[in-house]
Amino acid sequence: MKRVLICDPLSEDGIRPLLDAEEIETVVQTSMSHEELLKAVKDVEAIIVRSQTQITEEVMKHAPQLKVIGRAGVGVDNIDVDAATEHGVIVVNAPDGNTISTAEHTMAMLMSLARNIPQAYHQLKQKRWERKKFVGVELKGKTLGIVGFGRIGREVAQRAKGHRMNVIAFDPFLNDEKAEKVGVQNGSLEEVLKAADFLTVHTPLIEKTKHLINKEAIELMKPGARILNCARGGIIEEDALLEAIQSGKIAGAALDVFEEEPATEHPLLDFPEVIATPHLGASTVEAQENVATDVSYDILELLRGGTVKNPVNLPSVSSEMMEKLSPYFRLSEQLGAFLSKVVEGTLERIHVYYSGELLDVDTMPLTRISVKGILKRHIGERVNDVNAFRTASDKGIEINEQKSTSTKGFTNLITVEIETDQEKRSIAGTLLNGLGARIVQLDHYSVDVVPEGHLIVIQHTDQPGAIGRVGSLLAGHDMNIATMQVGRTNLGGDAVMVLTVDREVEGKCREELAGIADIRKVKCLNL
């Protein structure tokens, strides 16, 4: 018997496939303490959670039989996906099942916020007939700013348009053409912040979106604007929001999620301008049945040796292929990650070229890993080796893979090229026998860089003193330079510097670097 442990409340109809499977024993044990959870996972092959239960590496270490973790919902931020991958545990989620419910909940919050419905209801329940106090605003003609135009963001936009709102959205995967097709305006984050009467966030919580809506962002907003978060606590900086509510800059907020949940004692709840629900976005009969069904089928398939529909981290490479390809896995991801951090604009096309000893190998898994490395910057851990292509195609990004006979003298060479609506950039890397991975080309500059650690990539004009000024500035910041590579097109022409430094480069240091004469662009990377 294979044991499946369900740790958070799930729809019984949704888990029916598991309950009906003869070879599966399904154990439902919710609201466990951490110690109880560690004991309960001892002999399970699958764990299913919603957002409450944290599946940490410690939990995985206590579950030696564990093969799969199912997230009956979208966000996998309560699961240590990296640790799962390291432990060979597949993570699956249910990305589509609760989209509509969450979009509808966002609209319910938007309307409640506009018309003070929770506050008025509360007064009436206290037998107070207040009318003057609860004068609201219409949605018609107002601008809804959407940050994160994925599944839920798009559904919210459609509904807001039904209310005759103007919609402006920001998403790194959105461009004017795609926005126009769905009748919204494409904007930068700054443009969205400045235009919004109501601002709603629908991004995942990843490093890049943590406190995306902070004090500086709120300062850009219109006085009297209102903010909604039905995505994840932490995308909006709660202290900054509190201050803005206190000062009157922000007229109201609707929150379904908090940085720490349960959030019964949260200071934001003391403000009458703040309305809130206890993470109810996905709490409908339909969504719960959908997500439980999707995750149950995937787990069943996987435990029966089949393939899953919604893997978050599954590497799908045969063992024979693995032997040939695995030395290039890390390099492929590093090339993608490196390039995604230096390129500007909305991604349109990714080309990957292989040459040398990679000519006769099925390199598709490597392309997938490079694409994952590129997309990870915006999507976080939810993009993986398996879903990288699907995610790219969902975002309208074209992927091309080609074999090339031009080896530039290397026994193997991988070249990744990104085209955006603004520029075309490329990077090439190789595995040097006995020496490991090297970046050997950045655009048309030859370099020799180990793709690891803290890197600074500087585009500048080749002029005497430029290198010295960079060195002195970094020294002034007590920043040790481990390696430095310089490439140039021609004397006095465009040039690039790639430096490896011993620690992360802070914002102030980066700004000062960008201010040096002859320096055009500075990008700081952690690989």
Ligand X SMILES: O=C(O)[C@H](O)COP(=O)(O)O
What lies within 8 Å, CB to CB, of 151 at 6+ separation is 95, 96, 99
Asked if 209 touches ligand X (CB under 6 A), the answer is: no
Q: Does 429 bind ligand X (CB under 6 A)?
A: no
**105 has catalytic annotation:** no
Considering the complex, what minimum distance in angstroms separates the CB of residue 242 from ligand X?
Answer: 22
Return the structure tokens found at 444: 């048309």
- Residue 374 interface partner, choices ligand X, ligand NAD, none, CB cut-off 5-8 Å depending on type: none
Task: Using CB under 6 A, pick the residue from 44, 90, 113, 152 that binds ligand NAD.
Answer: 152
Q: Is the dihedral of CA 212, 214, 216, 222 positive or negative?
A: positive
For ligand NAD, which residue of 145, 233, 281, 311 counts as binding (CB under 6 A)?
Answer: 281
- Determine which helix (DSSP H) or strand (DSSP E) holds 355, and give its type and residue range: strand 347-356
Structure token pair of residue 145: 């700013």
Distances from the Cα of 523 to the Cαs of 211, 455, 462, 515, in angstroms? Answer: 21, 8, 18, 13
The answer to whether 51 contacts ligand X (rule: CB under 6 A) is yes
Cα dist. 351→86, 223, 384, 418, 514 in Å? 28, 45, 18, 6, 30
As measured in angstroms, the least distance from the Cβ of 310 to ligand NAD is 12
Closest approach, Cβ 282 to ligand X, in A, equals: 4
Judged by CB under 6 A, which of 2, 5, 17, 50 binds ligand X?
A: 50
Q: List the single partner that 378 binds among ligand NAD, ligand X, none, CB under 5 to 8 Å by kind.
A: ligand NAD
Using CB under 6 A, which of 70, 153, 187, 233 touches ligand NAD?
153
Q: By CB under 6 A, tell whether 347 contacts ligand NAD.
A: no
Helix axes 151-162, 99-115, angle to 10 degrees: 50
Q: Per this entry, what is the length of the chain?
A: 527
Contact between 75 and ligand NAD per CB under 6 A:
yes
Alpha carbon of residue 51 to chain centroid: 17
Between the alpha carbon of residue 492 and those of residues 140, 489, 514, the distances in Å are 57, 8, 19
Query: Residue count at the site for ligand X (CB under 6 A)?
Result: 11
- Among ligand X, ligand NAD, none, residue 172 binds (CB under 5-8 Å by kind): ligand NAD
Instruction: Fill in the amino acid letter for 163.
Output: H
Confirm or reject binding of residue 98 to ligand X (CB under 6 A). Answer: yes
Chain-centre distance for alpha carbon 389: 16
Is 378 a residue of the active site? no
SS3 487: strand
Q: Are 490 and 470 in contact (CB under 8 A)?
A: no
CA angle 48, 383, 65 (to 5 degrees): 35
Q: Does 11 bind ligand NAD (CB under 6 A)?
A: no
Is residue 279 at the binding interface for ligand NAD, with CB under 6 A as the rule? yes
CB of 39 to ligand NAD, least distance (A): 29
The 3-class SS string of 262-330 reads CCCCCHHHHCCCEEECCCCCCCCHHHHHHHHHHHHHHHHHHHCCCCCCCECCCCCCCHHHHHHHHHHHH
Q: Which does 50 bind (CB under 5 to 8 A by kind): ligand NAD, ligand X, none?
A: ligand X
Nearer to ligand NAD, 52 or 404 (CB): 52
Determine whether 279 is an active site residue: yes
Distance from C-alpha of 128 to C-alpha of 271, rounded to nearest angstrom: 19
Q: Pick the catalytic residue: 50, 105, 154, 279?
A: 279
Q: Quote the CA–CA distance of 225 and 248 in Å, as a whole number.
A: 10
- The least distance separating ligand X from the CB of residue 161, rounded to whole angstroms, comes to 24
Strand partners, 147: 170, 201
Catalytic residue among 232, 377, 425, 438: 232
**The two three-digit tokens of residue 400, written as one number:** 């091309």
Catalytically annotated residue among 191, 261, 357, 401: 261
Q: Does 451 bind ligand NAD (CB under 6 A)?
A: no
- Applying the rule CB under 6 A, the residues between 300 and 329 that interact with ligand X are none
CA distance 393 to 400: 12
Spatial distance between the Cα atoms of 391 and 368, rounded to a whole number of angstroms:
11
- Choosing from 234, 281, 356, 373, the residue that interacts with ligand X (CB under 6 A) is 281
Write out the two tokens for 248.
């009157």
- Closest to ligand NAD by CB, 78 vs 404, is 78
Residue from 14, 70, 150, 336 in contact with ligand NAD (CB under 6 A)? 150
Task: Between 26 and 102, name the residue whose CB sits nearer to ligand NAD.
Answer: 102
The least distance separating ligand NAD from the CB of residue 206, rounded to whole angstroms, comes to: 7
Position 153 contacts ligand X (CB under 6 A) = no
- Phi first, then psi, for residue 284 (nearest 5°) are -130, 160
Stretch of residues binding ligand X (CB under 6 A), selected from 23-31, 279-287, 349-357, 393-401: 279-287
The answer to whether residue 102 forms part of the interface with ligand NAD (CB under 6 A) is yes
CB of residue 381 vs ligand X: minimum separation in angstroms? 13
| 3-state secondary structure at position 525 | strand
Q: Which residue is nearest to ligand NAD (CB)?
A: 150
Candidates 266, 378, 425, 523; binder of ligand NAD (CB under 6 A) is 378
Residue number, 17 or 73, with CB nearest to ligand X? 73
Is residue 425 within the footprint of ligand NAD (CB under 6 A)? no
The residues binding ligand X (CB under 6 A) are 50-51, 72-75, 98, 279, 281-283
The residues binding ligand NAD (CB under 6 A) are 74-75, 95, 98-99, 102, 147-153, 170-173, 202-205, 208-209, 212, 230-232, 256-257, 279, 281-282, 378-379
- Active site (catalytic) residues: 232, 261, 279
